[in-house]
Amino acid sequence: MSFFSKFCLLAILSCGLISCGGTNEPPTCNGQPVPIFDKIQGFEQHTFEVTGQNGKEFVSVPTLALDIELYQSGCTNLEQEYRFLLHGTLPTNTTPKECAITIAQIFYNMSQLDPKLAQYAEWAKAVGQSAENFQYNETILLDGSNIQAKILKQQQTKSTILTVVFMS
């Protein structure tokens, strides 16, 4: 199994996306999103809510100077949207490549905080390897995979929100 096949499987199974049954009938989702950041030391103000097959999770990570909102949705077409609220700003002219590298660094740093988050090192590697291909709000195929991704940057007065969306 290739790295990205494992990556996709890991993303779907380990990160709590919804698994779906498959026949010639319309897909029936088996399960609901599950929290990823629950009970991880250093992750504060954790909340998680489920509405049907959609999940929304929030957590503050003071050691990384950011807050994370994670949206999980889908059944046959799975999607995870990570919104990283940085406690500080990036220059307004920050390129998509620089934002992708920052997102990759965030995923890597998260992977180092708790063994339950180790899979984020793979996400970091995948985003980092595709950094040159990103343009704001344009979907790309991550290098060597069947996973699509897009990034966005939203500048605020005292913070920046970096968003990465993964779709399978």
Tell me what pLDDT residue 20 has: 39
Q: How many CB atoms lie within 10 A of CB 109?
A: 17
CA 68, 70, 74 angle in degrees (round to 5)? 170
CA 6, 69, 135 angle in degrees (round to 5)? 65
- Residue range 16-28: mean pLDDT, rounded: 44
Q: Where are the beta strands (DSSP E) in the chain?
A: 19-21, 28-30, 44-51, 54-61, 66-73, 79-86, 140-141, 148-155, 160-167
CB-based contacts of 48: which residues, under 8 Å, 6+ apart?
35, 38, 55, 56, 57, 58
**Which H or E run contains 111?**
helix 96-111
Q: Write the DSSP symbol of residue 65.
A: T
pLDDT of residue 74 exceeding 60? yes
- Residue range 8-34: mean pLDDT, rounded: 49
Tell me what pLDDT residue 29 has: 65
Whole-structure pTM value = 0.82
Q: Where are the domains of the chain?
A: 3-167
Tokens of 17: 């996306």
- Residue range 65-71: mean pLDDT, rounded: 96
Tell me what pLDDT residue 52 has: 83
Q: What is the dihedral of CA 168, 161, 32, 41, to 10 degrees?
A: 120
